[in-house]
Structure 1
Amino acid sequence: MTNKIKLLIVDDHAVVRKGIQNLLEDEPNIEIVGEASDGLEALEKIKLLKPNIVLLDLTMPQMSGFEVAKFISEKYPSIKSLIFSMHNNPEYMVTSVENGAMGYLLKDTSKEEILKALDSVSAGNKYFPPTVSAMIIDGLLAQRKQKTTPKLKNTSVFAKISKKEREILKYITEGLSSQEVAEKLSLSVRTVSNHRANILRKTNVKNTAELVRLAVE
């Protein structure tokens, strides 16, 4: 591959960011242009550094990897995002693609696979872990498109939150960002973010992805 990959590493754990840098810094076709520790910082760095690919953690403060990937695909269509996650979950992989990510890479993978994924995404192809068939992903995507809005099933979750929070959670399970939820409900983004944080606290889950899974199970 002749074009150098300009890579931005986004992860809330410094040791992960450093590990990836150490792993890839000697690769002639890869230039690590910067790093970010959360979703909001990532958006600032993307605007400033203009990377080709953003290696994106899924569970982060401020904004989830899903939200950042969606923002990138909408505002910076020439920049590709590759989710870098510890969760070997096809549903998460499908959600990543639905939000504009070009691929999904597991954190326990080898250097060779990371390089393969970066090359594949840089060339405009989607990439998934070898253990997950692309046909499975395509099948799940097709099923998602045929279904109506996800039904909120877990009543124990909703018993713990307010009416307004239930309304916000419904939109979250539909894949809407905080900005989009705010527009739907005529609220500020800060208010939606505060409600989201309260929902996570009340339901005792760590991140939005876990909350969505819990809500629709």
Structure 2
Amino acid sequence: MEKIKVLLTDDHDVVRKGMKMLLEDEETIEVVGEASDGLEAIDKIAQLLPDVVILDLTMPKMSGIEAAKIVSENYPDVKILIFSMHNNRDYIVSSVENGANGYLLKDTGKEEIMKALHTVSEGRKYFPPDISEVIIDELLAKNQAQKTAASPTGGIYAKITPKEQQILDLIIQGLNSREIADKLFLSIRTVDNHRANMMKKTKAKNTADLVKMAIQ
């Protein structure tokens, strides 16, 4: 079996060394090089042609997202695995939009790191459940925005505020006021007020009526 050739990219030397030690214990992995920023990673990829590049996101000279875009456009056979401390919607979505094949947080265990490396090296995607949830939410939001834009009147979403739209999407998913409050870092009273405002604006008789209007 051919080893998976990996290039490590992180601006922290201790992170690279730790990851290298972890991967070198594996018979199926070969660490072919290291880089401390996005620019150096691009140069090393051109020289070494690894199977997978592991990219940190926040680095000097060139970020991981910028590097991912260049790699995906110029070296499509090199798979990109983001390895970041950022569990943030914007970072995750931007990484995927710029060609990332997988996304792991830096507190990920060895077993899952190995699973991710093997998965992306085979040309498949690897996103843990919490990261997948963010990506799915973004796709649903974009889909809803497209539906609203395509509607002559804009539908129910044209009548309510962005925050109310966010709450309505969670109501449609079956969340109650307490669960919505926890997810959006709001008070239950604030969520209930938004719910009441939506019903008033749309003339919905109850929550079921509100949901029915939204999905029509």
Interval containing the TM-score (normalised by the shorter chain): 0.5 to 0.7
Quote the residue 2:126 is aligned against.
127
CA RMSD, aligned part only? 1.8
Q: Percent identity?
A: 62
Question: Deviation at 1:47?
Answer: 0.5
Query: Residue 143 of structure 1: which of 118, 127, 141 is its match?
Result: 141
Matched with 1:13 is 12
Post-superposition offset of 1:50: 0.7
Structure 1 gaps, min length 5: 149-217
Q: What is the aligned residue count?
A: 146
Higher radius of gyration, 1 or 2:
2
Q: Deviations over 1:150-169 (max 9, x none)?
A: xxxxxxxxxxxxxxxxxxxx
Q: Which residue of structure 2 aligns with residue 170 of structure 1?
A: none
* Offset at residue 135 of structure 1 (A): 5.3
CA contact (8 A) 1:81 1:101 kept: yes
Q: Could you say which structure has the higher helix fraction?
A: 2
The Cα of 1:144 is off from its aligned counterpart by 4.4
Q: Distance in 1 between matches of 2:77 and 2:113?
A: 20
1:29-178 equivalent positions in 2, closer than 5 A = 29-132=28-131, 134=132, 136-141=134-139, 143-144=141-142
Q: How many angstroms does 1:136 deviate by?
A: 4.2
Q: Any idea what the Cα deviations from partners look like across 1:111-168, whole Å, max 9, x if unmatched?
A: 1111011011112121122333x354134135347579xxxxxxxxxxxxxxxxxxxx
Q: Deviations over 1:26-69 (max 9, x none)?
A: 21110000000011111110001110100000000011111000
1:84-121 deviation per Cα after TM superposition (whole angstroms, max 9, x unaligned):
00011233211111000101011011011110110111
Give the aligned residue type for 1:12.
Answer: D
Separation in structure 1 between the aligned mates of residue 55 and residue 20 of structure 2, nearest angstrom: 14
Deviations 1:2-48 (A, max 9, x none): 44210000000000000000111021110000000011111110001
Say which structure, 1 or 2, has more relative contact order (CA 8 Å, 6+ apart). Answer: 1
CA contact (8 A) 1:94 1:141 kept: no
Question: What 5-or-longer segments of structure 2 have no aligned partner?
Answer: 150-216
